[in-house]
Structure 1
Amino acid sequence: MTDKIIVKGARQHNLKDIHLEIPKNKLVVITGVSGSGKSTLAFDTLYAEGQRRYVESLSAYARQFLELMEKPDVDSIEYLAPAISIEQKSISRNPRSTVGTITEIYDYMRLLFARVGDVHCPSCGKVVESYSVQQIVDHILENPDGSRVEILSPIVRGKKGEFRKLFEGLLKDGYVRVWVDGEQRRLEEEIILEKNVKHNISVSIDRVKLKEGIDRRLADSVETALRLSEGLAEISVDGDSRLFSEKFSCAECNISIPEIEPRSFSFNNPFGACPECEGLGEKQIFDEKAIVPNDNLSVREGAIKPWEHFDNFHHYNTLVAISEQQGIDMNIPYKKLSEEAKDYLLNGSDEPLKLFTFKGEKKVFYEKKFTGVLGWLREKLYTGTPNERDNAKRYMSSMDCPECEGARLQKTSLSVFVGDKNIHEVSAMDIQIALDFFENLNFTGFRREVADRIVAEIVRRLAFLRDVGLDYITLERKASTLSGGEAQRIRLATQIGSGLTGVLYVLDEPSIGLHQRDNDMLIATLKNLRDIGNTVIVVEHDEDTILDADHVIDMGPYAGRKGGEIVYEGVPEGLSDCENCLTGAYLSGRMEIEIPKERNQPCERWLKLTGASEHNLKNVKLELPLGMMVCVTGVSGSGKSTLIMDTMYPALVRKLQGTAIKAGEYKSIEGFEHIDKVIDIDQSPIGRTPRSNPSTYTGVLTDVRELFAMTPEAKKRGYKAGRFSFNVRYGRCETCQGEGYIKIEMHFLPDMYVRCDACGGKRYNRDTLDIRYSGKNIADVLDMTVNQAFEFFENIPKLKNKLKVLVDVGLGYIKLGQPATTLSGGEAQRVKLAKELMKRPTGKTLYIFDEPTTGLHFDDINKLVKIFRALTESGNTVVIIEHNLDVIKCSDYIIDLGPEGGGGGGEIIFSGTPEKCAKSRKSYTGKYLKRKLG
C-alpha cells in the first residue's frame, strides 16, 4: 500500500479539478482565505468519501442509504483510510448533558462511588455500613473466649402505640425477654403502653457464652434477629452494645438508605435525581431583579416592571389603598422602602385590602385579598391567555434548585464520599484539580482491588482533556455552554483515548478558544495522534500550527469562484517564499495587519461593574472605557466569558431592556446611561434547518422578493412579494415544503439532508420559477454568491448597499441561499455582524464579540479589524473576547484576566494599552504580544 492519499480531479463546490498527493501518517494543515475551498477539500471531499465507503462496507440494510449519500464530485481518491470528522459543532443542547457524561468520565465516577464509597447518614453525617450475617458473626468471635454475648432484635425504634398485637405474636413464637425503653419486662405480664409516648422495644434472641463450635448457632441467632427487625441486630458483648445493619441505615436517625448502585448517582435516573428539580439542578422561578430592574424609581414611576403600563382605575385604586392602609409611600425610590414594605408589594398578605368601585354614581366598598406582584404573575402564568403567560415568563429566570442547591442529586446520593468528597464536589473541580484528586486517592484491601482499574481509566481520560488545553473546565459544566472549539477538543481527547490507528482524522480549527500559551499542548496532542499511526488533516489559520505541520496545502488564491486551486503544497518552510500565496505573504511579513498610528483615548464615559464573583471571578471590579475598541484577554478559563458574557452583558440587558435574563453575581453597575443598546454577536447558528440562510436572516431576500413582484409577468399573474417566499404554500415546492432538502433519519449515523427530487433543491414550484428578473429566476438569485449578487444588483441601491456590507465582513464567497446548517460558527457570527451594520448607527451602541476571528485567514482578519475601527470612530464601543494577537495589537485598550485558568484565575491583572500590556510581567498575553509589537 502506498504511503500517500492520491486525489484526482476534485471538483466539489468551487474546487477546480485539483490533483494532489497527501502524505499518510503525517500532520497536514490545509490553509487559505475564507471560502478558498479548504473545508470543501477536507470535509466535503476527503471525509465525505471516507464515510461513504465505510457505509458501503456495512450490512445490506445500511447500504440502502448509499444512494442518499451524495458522492463527492471527484474522479478518484486512492488509498483513502477510514475517516473520522471532528468539527466545531455543539456536542449537545440537552440541559442534562455535561462534560462528565459526554466523555463518560462521570459513568466511571458513578461506578467508583457505588463500589468503594463511604456511606454517611444524610441527616447526622455519621458513617453507616452494611453487614452480612457472616461479618457480624466474625465480629462477635473476635472477642476472647469466655465473653458473654447477648443478641437483641430492636423491633420498635422511637414509635408511638400500644403494640399489644406485637407482644402477643412474640409470646406465641416463644420469646420471653423484652426490653421496653431499656427496662427488661416479661411477656407473661400484661403490658399496655401509652399510645402517645414514643418507645424503643427489643427482644432477646440468644444469650450465650462464647466457646469453640458456637459460630453456627450464632449465625442462626443473628439471622433471626435481622429478620424480626428488618435488617437490624444489636449485639452486646460483656455489656458493650453495638448496632449492626444488614442495610445502609442510621439507627439514631431512624433512616434507611436504599442499596447504593451506580444509578444512585445518575441525575438522569429517578433513583438518583433530586425530586424537586428532577435532576436538572435548576428551576425556573420569578426573579426579583427582573421584576424591579431599576430600584431608583418609585412604584408610581414604574419601579415594578410588570405594573409599569397599568393605568386603569382598579390599579390606581389598589396603589392608593396600599399606601393609605399599609403606610407604604409610592412616591419614594423603591430602594428606600423598608424590607417589610418590599415583601408586602412582592408577596402580598392574607389581610384583605379595603377597596371601592362605582355602580352608577354610587360608591361601593368591598374587600379583596392582595397577592402581591408575584401572586399576580403566578395567576397569569397558570390561568392567563397565551400572551399573558408569555409576558409572565419574561420575569422568570433559572436559579439553582433550593433542594439540591444545583447538585442535581438526592441527599442520600450526596452522602456517599470518596476521599472526603461527594460526587458533586468532584464534578465541580477543574480538570487539573480533579486529576490531582484521583491520582492521590489511596485505598486498602478489597477496595483497592476494585478501585484501581476504575481510577486508572478516570485518570487517563482526565489527562487527555488536560493535554488538549481544557484543564480549566469542570466535569459538571453543561455541554450546551461549550464553545465550538471546546466541543471539538473534547471530541479530540475522546478519540485519543480510543487508541485507534490507521485512521484519517479531519479537524476544523482545533486552536479556536486557546491562548497562545496553551496552543503548544494542542499541537503536541495532534502530533501524538499522528505518531501512533494516523493521518491528521487540520483546517487551520493559526501560525504556530501551520509552521509545526509536516505538510501544508494552501488553497486560493482568493475566495469563491476565484479560489478552489492549490496555491502551494509542501513543507511549511517553503510557504513564505510563495509569491502568489496570501498566507505566505503574511507569514513572511510582505503583508501585515497594521497597528493603528493613533489609538482612541479614554474619555469621560466609562462603564463600571463592581463585585463580579460568578464562577471563578474573585470580586472583580471592571472599568470599561466607552467609545473604544477593547480586547478582553487571558489564558483559557481565566474568566473572560464569565465576566463579559455571563455578567456584564446580561446585567446591561436587564438595565436597558428590563428582561429577566439571568446575570452572574455582581454588586452594582454604573455608566449604562451612556449606552442605548447592547448587542451580543456570537457564533450560535442563524438557524437550525436548511430553511434559514443569509438572505433571509439579513433581510436581503425581502428586497429581492419585492423586486420580483414588480416585474411585468408577476403583475400580469397577480403575484405579490409573498409568492416568492419559500415559506408560503402557493409559491414553494410542496414536496420539500420549501426547504430544498428532505431530512432522512439515518438511525446509526447523524440525520442527513438530501436534495429534493421534485424541485432539484430550488425550493420553489414551476410557476414561481417562470418569473424572471434580468434573465434570472429567484432560485438562480439564491444560488448566487454575495459577490455575484453584488454585481447583478449593482443598479438597485438598496440591495447593493446591503450586499456591500456582506462583502466587507469577508462573506463575499458564500451563497445567498446557503443553508444555515452549512455555515461555520465564524460565518454565522459575521452574518449577524452584517445584519447589525445594515442598521442605522446611533453612536451609543456597545457591541460584544466572542472570538470573531474564528475561521478567518490573516487577510480576513485585516478586513474585520477595519470594521471594528469604523464602528468606534462613530462613537460606538466594541468589546472583543479574543486570543488572536493581530486583533489584540490593534485594540485601543486591553483588559487581561488571569493569571491562570480555573481557580487560579478570575482576577484582572492588567488594564491599559497594548504597549503597556507588553511590559507587564504578570500577563501571559503581554509576553506573546511583545513579539508582535516588536
Structure 2
Amino acid sequence: IEKFMTLLPCPACQGKRLKKEVLAVTVAGINIAELVSYPVEKSLDWFKGLLESNKTVTKKSRQNDLLTEKEFEIARQVLKEISSRLRFLNSVGLSYLTLDRTANTLSGGELQRIRLATQIGSGLSGVLYVLDEPSIGLHQRDNNRLLETLRELRDLGNTLLVVEHDEDTILAADHVLDIGPGAGENGGELVAQGTPDEIKQAENSITGQYLSGKQNVPVPAKRKPINPRRIIEVIGAKENNLQNIDVRFPLGQLICVTGLSGSGKSTLIQEILHKALAQKLHRAKSKPGKHEFIEGIHLIDKVIDIDQSPIGRTPRSNPATYSGAFTYIRDLFAQLPESRVRGYKSGRFSFNVKGGRCEACHGDGIIKIEMHFLPDVYVTCEGCEGHRYNRETLEVLYKGKNIADILQLTIQEAYDFFANIPNIKTKLKTLLDVGLGYIRLGQSAPTLSGGEAQRIKLAKELSKRSTGKTFYILDEPTTGLHFADVKKLLGVLTKLVDRGNTVVVIEHNLDMIKCADYIVDLGPGGGDKGGKLVVCGTPEQVAENTDSYTGHFLKRMLAKS
C-alpha cells in the first residue's frame, strides 16, 4: 500500500518535528531545526566559526549573537566533539548529506561510509576492518578522500580488508589478493597475490592485465550522431537541489549522467524523468518531482528502469523461470514419449503447482525452520533430497537427464545441451551474452548478487522483440563489477542502443563514461553546491571543460586509452 501513499510535511511544524517553544531556543541566531537542515560541510563551517569567534570574546554579555564566556566554557568540549565527528563524515565523501536526512533514503554505500566515519572517530587500534566496496556511489574526487581516510585508519595500527573492483583502491593497497580466474564454477582459486606491481606482472591474472593496460575497455571508434528531431527535454527541473535546469536527452544513444555524489543525478533521472515518463506512458501512480514540463514524450513508447533489486525473493525464482527458458524446457519434457504415455502435461514439470513437485517442501527443495530470536535456518528437504520433484516426475528423462538434473546445469552447459532446440537456445544465448554462463539454471534468486540480477533483467530485455522506442534507465549498473564484466555490460547496452533504443545510465565508472555517446554532467559540487548543468556533450567535449570535475578525470582516462 506504501506506493499509493504520499509524504507531506506536517502543517503545524512545517516538517521541523519540534514545538514552537523548543524552536525558540537559538545558538548564534539559529535554532536546532535550521542547523540540522545544513549539509555536513556547511555545518562543519558553522561549528568551526563558532569555536574560533568565541576565542576572541571575553565579555560576559552576548556579542553578535555569540556565546558568553561562561556558555563557551561549558560548550567547548561538546563543540570540539561535534566538529571532529563532522570532519570524519566530510572526509569519507559525505559532505553533501544534510544532518536531518532520514536513514531509509540513504544508499548502501552512504550507510557504509557513515559507519566507517564512526570507526575513525573511535580512535581504536589493533582492529580488523572488513569493507565491501566502500567506493560504491563515489565520484573519483571523493574516492581520493576516502583512500586518505582508509590510510589514516591503517596508520592507527589497524588492518583493513577491502573487497573492491575500483582501480585506484587496488593500486593504493599494500597487498592484493586476486581470486579467480573466472566466476562461479570457473573461480574460487587464488590466482595471484602481492603488491599491485606484482599483480600487474602475473600472467594468468585478468585483474593484473587490466591494471597493466594489456587489456582495456576500448573507446568507440566514433560516437553516434545526434538527431535533432529525436530529443527528450526536461524543462525547469527544480526538485531537491536542482536549480531550475533544462536538460536534453538525445534519443537512440548511450547517455551517461555524471557528477559528484549529491549533485542531483538521481533526483533528475529517477524522481523527475522516470516518474514523469512512467506516469504518461504507463499510468503509474508515483508523483514526479518538481519540473515545468517534458518535451518529446511522444517519441518513445515505454520506459524501463533496470535496477539491481532481486529477480525474486523466494527460492522458486531462478534464471530459468525469469528469462522464460523454463517454459520451453517444461514443454519439451511434456512432449517426450514417456510423458505422453503417463499423461503428463507441462504443468507436471513445474515446481510452483501441485502434481509433479515434492509436497513436503512445496517445490522449494529446502525447508525453512523458523527460530525464535534467531535468523531462519534452511535445511535440505528429506523427501526429495533437494530435487524439488517427486519420484514419478524424475523418472522422465531427456538425453539421460531428468528435470532436476537440467536445473543443476550451468547456463553454458545448458546452452550446449539444448543446441538443437531453437527456442531454448535463443533464451540461453542472451544470458551468455551478458556474461552469466557460470550461474546455474535453477540457482535461487536470493543467492544472486545485485549485478547478476541486473544482467538477467538485461538479458530478458535483449530477448524481446525491439520496437526501437524504449527508454532504459540504469542507476550505477557497474556496482560490484570487475573490469572484464564492465566490458561485457557495455556490449549489452550497445546492442540495445543499436536497435534504436535509448539507454540512460547514472554512473561514476570512467570506463563506462568514456564509452558513452553523450554525457550530462551535473554539479559542480554536491548538495547546495550542486544542482546545475555544468556541461553536456561527447566525452571529448566534457573532458575539455575546466569547470567539470568529471571532465578533469575523464581527460586523463581518454589520454590513456
The residue number in structure 2 matching 1:539 is 163
Q: How does 1:172-321 map to 2 (within 5 A)?
A: none
Q: Are the counterparts in 2 of residues 895 and 908 from structure 1 also a CA contact under 8 Å?
A: yes
Decide which moves more: 479-488 or 628-637: 479-488
Question: Out of 578, 590, 600, which is 2:224 matched to?
Answer: 600
Decide which moves more: 605-614 or 765-774: 765-774
Matching of residue 680 in structure 1 with residue 283 in structure 2:
no
The residue number in structure 2 matching 1:437 is 46
Q: How does 1:501-520 map to 2 (within 5 A)?
A: 501-520=125-144
* Amino acid of the structure 2 residue aligned with 1:644: I
The residue number in structure 2 matching 1:473 is 97
Question: Out of 177, 183, 207, which is 1:553 matched to?
Answer: 177
Gaps of 5+ in 2: 52-66
Matching of residue 916 in structure 1 with residue 541 in structure 2:
yes
- Shift of the alpha carbon at 1:510? 1.5
- Shift of the alpha carbon at 1:410? 5.4
Matching of residue 587 in structure 1 with residue 211 in structure 2:
yes
- Shift of the alpha carbon at 1:619? 0.4
Distance 1:592 1:745, change over 3 A: same
Matching of residue 615 in structure 1 with residue 259 in structure 2:
no
* Amino acid of the structure 2 residue aligned with 1:859: A
* Amino acid of the structure 2 residue aligned with 1:430: P
Question: Out of 481, 485, 491, which is 2:115 matched to?
Answer: 491
The residue number in structure 2 matching 1:697 is 322
Matching of residue 844 in structure 1 with residue 453 in structure 2:
no
- Shift of the alpha carbon at 1:618? 0.4
The residue number in structure 2 matching 1:868 is 493
For 1:493 and 1:747, how far apart are their aligned partners in 2? 34
* Amino acid of the structure 2 residue aligned with 1:526: L
For 2:132 and 2:453, how far apart are their aligned partners in 1? 15
Question: What is the root-mean-square deviation in Å for CA atoms of aligned residues?
Answer: 2.7
* Amino acid of the structure 1 residue aligned with 2:41: Q
* Amino acid of the structure 1 residue aligned with 2:320: S
Q: Are the counterparts in 2 of residues 560 and 785 from structure 1 also a CA contact under 8 Å?
A: no
- Shift of the alpha carbon at 1:840? 0.9
For 1:756 and 1:504, how far apart are their aligned partners in 2? 38
Matching of residue 884 in structure 1 with residue 509 in structure 2:
yes
The residue number in structure 1 matching 2:344 is 719
Question: Out of 34, 50, 53, which is 1:425 matched to?
Answer: 34
Question: 1:507 is paired with a residue of what secondary structure?
Answer: strand
* Amino acid of the structure 2 residue aligned with 1:514: L
Question: Out of 402, 420, 427, which is 1:795 matched to?
Answer: 420
Decide which moves more: 415-424 or 907-916: 415-424
The residue number in structure 1 matching 2:558 is 933
- Shift of the alpha carbon at 1:498? 4.8
Distance 1:452 1:700, change over 3 A: farther
* 1:622-676 CA distance string (max 9 Å, x none): 1111111111111111111111111111111112122221211101110111111
For 2:451 and 2:45, how far apart are their aligned partners in 1? 36
The residue number in structure 1 matching 2:430 is 805
* Amino acid of the structure 2 residue aligned with 1:509: E
For 1:831 and 1:793, how far apart are their aligned partners in 2? 19
**If each structure's helix is expressed as a fraction of its own residues, which one has the higher value?**
2
For 1:481 and 1:643, how far apart are their aligned partners in 2? 16
Matching of residue 762 in structure 1 with residue 359 in structure 2:
no
* 1:234-288 CA distance string (max 9 Å, x none): xxxxxxxxxxxxxxxxxxxxxxxxxxxxxxxxxxxxxxxxxxxxxxxxx98xxxx
Q: Are the counterparts in 1 of residues 347 and 355 from structure 2 also a CA contact under 8 Å?
A: no
* 1:306-364 CA distance string (max 9 Å, x none): xxxxxxxxxxxxxxxxxxxxxxxxxxxxxxxxxxxxxxxxxxxxxxxxxxxxxxxxxxx
* Amino acid of the structure 1 residue aligned with 2:330: R
The residue number in structure 2 matching 1:824 is 449
Distance 1:400 1:834, change over 3 A: farther
- Shift of the alpha carbon at 1:575? 1.9
For 2:556 and 2:375, how far apart are their aligned partners in 1? 44
For 1:736 and 1:411, how far apart are their aligned partners in 2? 58
Q: Are the counterparts in 2 of residues 484 and 825 from structure 1 also a CA contact under 8 Å?
A: no
The residue number in structure 1 matching 2:60 is none
- Shift of the alpha carbon at 1:506? 2.8
Question: 1:847 is paired with a residue of what secondary structure?
Answer: strand
For 1:598 and 1:590, how far apart are their aligned partners in 2? 22
The residue number in structure 1 matching 2:194 is 570
Question: 2:117 is paired with a residue of what secondary structure?
Answer: helix
Q: Are the counterparts in 1 of residues 333 and 398 from structure 2 also a CA contact under 8 Å?
A: yes
For 2:13 and 2:407, how far apart are their aligned partners in 1? 52
For 2:154 and 2:369, how far apart are their aligned partners in 1? 34
The residue number in structure 1 matching 2:148 is 524
- Shift of the alpha carbon at 1:758? 4.4
For 2:32 and 2:356, how far apart are their aligned partners in 1? 57
Distance 1:693 1:405, change over 3 A: farther
For 2:79 and 2:381, how far apart are their aligned partners in 1? 51
Distance 1:753 1:489, change over 3 A: farther
Distance 1:656 1:439, change over 3 A: same
The residue number in structure 1 matching 2:532 is 907
The residue number in structure 2 matching 1:775 is 400
Q: How does 1:49-68 map to 2 (within 5 A)?
A: none
Question: 1:773 is paired with a residue of what secondary structure?
Answer: coil
Q: Are the counterparts in 1 of residues 255 and 516 from structure 2 also a CA contact under 8 Å?
A: yes
- Shift of the alpha carbon at 1:918? 1.0
For 2:347 and 2:22, how far apart are their aligned partners in 1? 58
Question: 2:258 is paired with a residue of what secondary structure?
Answer: strand
- Shift of the alpha carbon at 1:860? 1.5
Distance 1:502 1:875, change over 3 A: same
For 2:318 and 2:124, how far apart are their aligned partners in 1? 37
* Amino acid of the structure 1 residue aligned with 2:189: E
* Amino acid of the structure 2 residue aligned with 1:425: E
* Amino acid of the structure 1 residue aligned with 2:223: R
Distance 1:582 1:655, change over 3 A: same
Question: Out of 274, 283, 288, which is 1:649 matched to?
Answer: 274
Distance 1:399 1:762, change over 3 A: farther
Q: Are the counterparts in 1 of residues 330 and 346 from structure 2 also a CA contact under 8 Å?
A: yes
Distance 1:764 1:457, change over 3 A: farther
- Shift of the alpha carbon at 1:533? 3.4
For 2:273 and 2:556, how far apart are their aligned partners in 1? 31
The residue number in structure 2 matching 1:669 is 294
* 1:795-825 CA distance string (max 9 Å, x none): 2211111111111112222222223222222
Question: 2:457 is paired with a residue of what secondary structure?
Answer: helix
Q: Are the counterparts in 2 of residues 827 and 855 from structure 1 also a CA contact under 8 Å?
A: no
* 1:157-181 CA distance string (max 9 Å, x none): xxxxxxxxxxxxxxxxxxxxxxxxx
The residue number in structure 2 matching 1:303 is none
* Amino acid of the structure 2 residue aligned with 1:472: Y
**If each structure's strand is expressed as a fraction of its own residues, which one has the higher value?**
1
Q: Are the counterparts in 2 of residues 398 and 662 from structure 1 also a CA contact under 8 Å?
A: no
For 2:88 and 2:385, how far apart are their aligned partners in 1? 45
